[in-house]
Structures are given as structure tokens and as C-alpha cells.
């Protein structure tokens, strides 16, 4: 398969992956609606930084080690599930009531970047996916590290475009989305989604 066909095939597959609703989509939508564009963009940067870290792990062999190490996989899986459950329960039990409360909470701006980052880094499914998915689109005989980072870069760009579209879509409804009842509903709904994802991750197998 020519280089261009490899790139086109990967781009199509990565686009479908990006558009599939998941925890990243829930995090971006909820953060954009409740916290505002800046915080949502920080979460997006964190999510994509997590993808880059997993790409580096795959490129340098750590992802392959995770794929064959039952202990390593389970350790990361349960840490990720615990983190998602903690985030979800906080949103369920302590939903915000206004944007002003969110802005005056005293939490550092980097917090949403870290949440996005940890959400990806602590999800071994992302690593396993990269380990099994990326090599299919690397032409035989080509430099593994360069192609791995190149393909991950394509995925990151697609994710960034999609996330910016999600953030932009919340702006026309911004006034309505910042009402107290709506904020509580979104926090609790997102919290429930996070808890369900945590349970799914904890109970999942390879």
C-alpha cells in the first residue's frame, strides 16, 4: 500500500474513533458549558497530551510491554477506574450551582489540563488501542518512531478540531447552559457517565 493510502486509511479510521462519543466528549462538553471556553480548552490540551504520551510509550516499546504484562495492565486499569469514579462521584454528590462558584473555587487553572491528561494516561484501553491499531498503518521498512508520532499527530489534530467544534457548539446556548438547574443536571449526568465508565473499565478484560 503506498504511503498516501496508509495515511488516508488511518485518517478515516481515526476520524471515526474521534467522533465516537466517550468520556473525552463528555468532559469537553460539560467543561465548556459550566466552566467556559478557556477551561474546556485546557481539558482538550490535557486529553491530547495524554494521546501524545501514549504515542511515545508505543514508539519506545512501553505500550507493547503493557500489552503483554497482565499485572501492569490491571494496575493501570484499576488506577484509571478509581480516578474516573472519584471524578464522577464528586460531580454526582457535589454538583455546581453556578459558573461564578466554579470560578471562585480557588482551584488552579491547570486542574482541567491535568484532568484531561490523567483521564487518558490512566486508561490502558488507549494504550492497547494504539499498540494494536497504529502498526497496521505503518508501511513495512519505515522508521517506527517517526511514523508512530506522525500517526498520533494526525489523531491529535482530528481530536483538537472535533473538541473545538464541541466547545463552539455550546456558545449559542451559553446563557441557558449556565442556569443553576442545568449546571446541576450536567454535573450529575456527566458524573454518572464517569462512574459508569469507571465500572466498565474496572470490569473489562483485554
Show pLDDT as tens, one digit a residue, over the chain (206 residues): 567 888 888 888 888 778 776 778 888 888 888 788 889 999 999 999 999 998 888 888 766 666 677 787 787 778 878 877 887 888 888 886 665 434 444 444 458 899 889 888 887 767 777 776 777 787 877 888 888 899 999 999 999 999 999 898 887 766 666 677 877 887 788 788 778 878 877 887 75
Q: How far apart are CA 44 and CA 143, in angstroms?
A: 29
Task: Specify if 74 maps to a domain.
Answer: no
Task: Specify if 203 maps to a domain.
Answer: no
Angle CA(145)–CA(146)–CA(152) in degrees, nearest 5? 90
C-beta neighbour count of 19 within 10 angstroms: 11
Task: Specify if 173 maps to a domain.
Answer: yes
Q: How far apart are CA 138 and CA 151, in angstroms?
A: 9
163 close to 28: Cβ distance less than 8 angstroms: yes
**Chain segment 54-71, per-residue pLDDT in tens:** 888 888 876 666 667 778
pLDDT value of position 177: 61
Instruction: Show the domain range for 32.
Output: 3-69+97-188
Task: Specify if 198 maps to a domain.
Answer: no
Task: Specify if 52 maps to a domain.
Answer: yes
Task: Specify if 118 maps to a domain.
Answer: yes
Half-sphere exposure of residue 22: CA atoms within 13 angstroms, side-chain side: 20
Enter the pTM of the model. Answer: 0.69
Report the candidate in 40, 47, 61, 39 with the shortest Cα–Cα distance to residue 134: 61
C-alpha grid cell, residue 112: 482541567
C-alpha grid cell, residue 170: 455550546
Instruction: Please report, for residues 105, 150, 176, 180, 206, the alpha-carbon distance to residue 136 in angstroms, rounded to integers and kept in the order given.
Output: 46, 14, 45, 48, 19
Q: How many domains are there within the chain?
A: 1
pLDDT value of position 107: 47
SS3 23: helix
Task: Specify if 199 maps to a domain.
Answer: no
Task: Specify if 125 maps to a domain.
Answer: yes
pLDDT value of position 160: 93
Give 22's DSSP letter. -
Give 173's DSSP letter. T
42 close to 113: Cβ distance less than 8 angstroms: yes
pLDDT value of position 103: 44
Looking up cell 465516537, which residue turns up? 20
Amino acid at each position: 500500500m503506498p504511503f498516501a493510502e496508509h495515511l488516508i486509511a488511518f485518517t478515516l479510521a481515526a476520524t471515526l474513533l474521534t467522533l465516537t462519543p466517550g468520556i473525552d466528549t463528555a468532559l469537553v462538553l460539560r467543561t465548556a458549558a459550566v466552566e467556559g471556553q478557556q477551561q474546556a480548552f485546557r481539558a482538550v490540551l490535557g486529553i491530547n497530551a495524554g494521546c501524545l504520551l501514549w504515542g511515545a510509550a508505543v514508539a519506545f516499546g512501553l505500550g507493547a510491554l503493557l500489552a503483554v504484562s497482565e499485572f501492569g495492565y490491571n494496575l493501570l486499569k484499576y488506577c484509571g477506574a478509581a480516578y474516573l469514579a472519584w471524578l464522577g462521584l464528586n460531580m454526582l454528590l457535589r454538583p455546581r450551582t453556578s459558573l461564578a462558584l466554579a470560578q471562585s473555587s480557588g482551584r488552579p487553572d491547570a486542574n482541567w489540563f491535568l484532568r484531561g491528561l490523567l483521564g487518558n494516561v490512566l486508561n490502558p484501553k488507549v494504550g492497547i488501542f494504539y499498540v494494536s491499531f497504529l502498526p497496521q498503518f505503518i508501511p513495512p521498512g519505515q522508521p517506527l518512531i517517526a511514523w508512530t508520532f506522525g500517526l498520533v499527530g494526525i489523531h491529535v489534530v482530528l481530536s483538537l478540531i472535533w473538541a473545538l467544534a464541541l466547545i463552539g457548539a455550546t456558545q449559542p446556548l451559553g446563557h441557558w447552559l449556565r442556569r443553576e438547574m442545568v449546571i446541576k443536571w450536567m454535573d450529575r449526568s456527566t458524573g454518572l457517565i464517569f462512574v459508569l465508565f469507571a465500572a466498565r473499565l474496572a470490569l473489562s478484560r483485554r
